[in-house]
Amino acid sequence: MSEEKKGYLSSGNGKKVTAHRFREMKQQGEKIAMLTAYDYSMAQVIDQAGIDAILVGDSASNVMVGNRTTLPMTVDQMIYHGRSVMNGVKRAMVVIDMPFGTYHSSPSEAVTNAVRIMRETEADALKLEGGEEIIESVKAILSAGIPIMGHLGLMPQSINKYGSYALRAKGDEESAKLREDARLLEEAGCFSIVLEKIPSSLAGIVARERSIPMIGIGAGPEVDGQVLVMHDMLGLNKGFSPRFLRRYAHLYEDINDAVQRYTADVKASDYPSADESY
């Protein structure tokens, strides 16, 4: 890594990243790097590597459990993953996804679920998918003192409504709604918004229109930060190759190779050696 790039690591003097720091980074033009994590060990590694924020995403449903969608995740499961991540993190901001169906029926049910997740995990913030449709729940959770990250564009919890994971907000109507939803979320008090799989030009417009940071995934470079699912960027998820994904490691091949060598060593009675025995 170049010295210039190394200089970007551990910005903010190694201090805990907060919602306030997010806004400061946008004002200073410093990009925000975010990744998902779901367990203690990986959270510890990525926190110590200098990531700014960790999303305990409901993508755990896909990459940890092997489900087709994110819909089956429950509050209990998000708390389990959130607590595990929190135990490994010192500096990064930790944001937990509220699962499908836990903030839609009423603002008071949304607050009950949000408070439970925050109390049992001690995370820093929650993320909710949607704009105008969920704005009353957003306001109610914010009024309980819980920071919220919004999520617009492709919203995986609504996959059955869309019917596919294709690019969102290509047309005028959907892009105007997305801009309006971003305005509503900022005005309600959200500290940041994830923009998933929308045209770069639209993401850039929203990032310039809003004063809170826009974190993109498949939303191009004109936003204030990026988020990726850790399993995808580490190359653990061989079958998933969307255009926006850059792989920084090839862990599927590395782990496969390590397991093959271990298996061969055990079968050949080559492991353990005398030095590895008591």
CB of 249 to ligand KIV, least distance (A): 18
Question: How far is it, in rounded angstroms, from Cα 149 to Cα 220?
Answer: 19
> What angle, 0 to 180 degrees and rounded to 10, lies between the N-to-C axes of helices 172-188 and 135-143?
20
CB of 54 closer than 8 Å to CB of 34: yes
CB of 43 closer than 8 Å to CB of 54: yes
CB of 253 to ligand KIV, least distance (A): 23
Residues that bind ligand KIV (CB under 6 A): 36, 55, 57-59, 97, 194, 196, 217, 227, 229
CB of 56 to ligand KIV, least distance (A): 8
Q: Which residue is nearest to ligand KIV (CB)?
A: 57
**Would you say 10 or 77 has its CB closer to ligand KIV?**
77
Question: How far is it, in rounded angstroms, from Cα 98 to Cα 88?
Answer: 20
122 a catalytic residue: no
CB of 12 to ligand KIV, least distance (A): 22
**Would you say 57 or 88 has its CB closer to ligand KIV?**
57
* Annotated active-site residue in 4, 30, 136, 196: 196
**Would you say 110 or 217 has its CB closer to ligand KIV?**
217
The CB-based long-range contact list for 106-112 (8 Å cut-off, 24+ gap) reads 106/137, 107/136, 107/137, 107/139, 107/140, 107/141, 108/140, 110/134, 110/137, 110/140, 110/141, 111/137, 111/140, 111/141, 111/144
**Would you say 78 or 272 has its CB closer to ligand KIV?**
78
Residues annotated as part of the active site: 196
